[in-house]
């Protein structure tokens, strides 16, 4: 079945540094990937939609200069949290769409980011 690999699964970084999270579709080509943020005991908030070869579309209220998304190939999307601060600490999850019409999605295992 469709598998999405997300790396790293957890990361601790110092305030002011940048962190890159990778999301790879292992056995299929994902033309669209999504990035979500999840606060403790809360739902998943869609941050942005990433399409291969084009700029990401960010949801309202998400800082595009802080959360840089790159979808350079059909199997890889990256999220870079720039100049991280403690309030950026969260659980980040990527998802790949299996088609263009919303029939199916596969999720990565998530990345726990802690900024100290």
Partner 1 sequence: AQSVTQLGSHVSVSEGALVLLRCNYSSSVPPYLFWYVQYPNQGLQLLLKYTTGATLVKGINGFEAEFKKSETSFHLTKPSAHMSDAAEYFCAVSGGATNKLIFGTGTLLAIQP
Question: Which residues in this chain contact partner 1 in the complex, by CB under 8 A?
Answer: 4, 6, 32, 34, 36, 41-44, 46, 49, 91, 93, 95, 97, 99-110, 112
Asked if 34 and 44 touch (Cβ cutoff 8 Å), the reply is: no
Report which of 11, 7, 34, 9 is spatially closest to residue 84, judged by C-alpha positions: 11
Between 32 and 75, CB nearer to partner 1:
32
- Please give the Cα distance from 69 to 63 (Å, whole number): 11
The CB-of-41 to partner 1 minimum distance in angstroms stands at 8
Radius of gyration (Cα) for the chain, nearest Å?
Answer: 13
Between 76 and 82, CB nearer to partner 1:
76
The CB-of-94 to partner 1 minimum distance in angstroms stands at 9
Between 82 and 110, CB nearer to partner 1:
110
The CB-of-105 to partner 1 minimum distance in angstroms stands at 6
- The span from the first CA to the last CA of the chain, in angstroms, equals 37
Asked if 96 and 103 touch (Cβ cutoff 8 Å), the reply is: no
The CB-of-87 to partner 1 minimum distance in angstroms stands at 20
């Amino acid at each position: 079945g469709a598998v999405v690999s997300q790396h790293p699964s957890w990361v601790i970084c110092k305030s002011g540094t940048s962190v890159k999270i990778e999301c790879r579709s292992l056995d299929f080509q994902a033309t669209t990937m999504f990035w979500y943020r999840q606060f403790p005991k809360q739902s998943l908030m869609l941050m942005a939609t990433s399409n291969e070869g084009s700029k990401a579309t960010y949801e309202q209220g998400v800082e595009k200069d802080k959360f840089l998304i790159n979808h350079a190939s059909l199997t890889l999307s990256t999220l870079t949290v720039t100049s991280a601060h403690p309030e950026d600490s969260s659980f980040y999850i990527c998802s790949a769409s299996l088609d263009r019409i919303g029939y199916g999605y596969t999720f990565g295992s998530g990345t726990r980011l802690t900024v100290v």
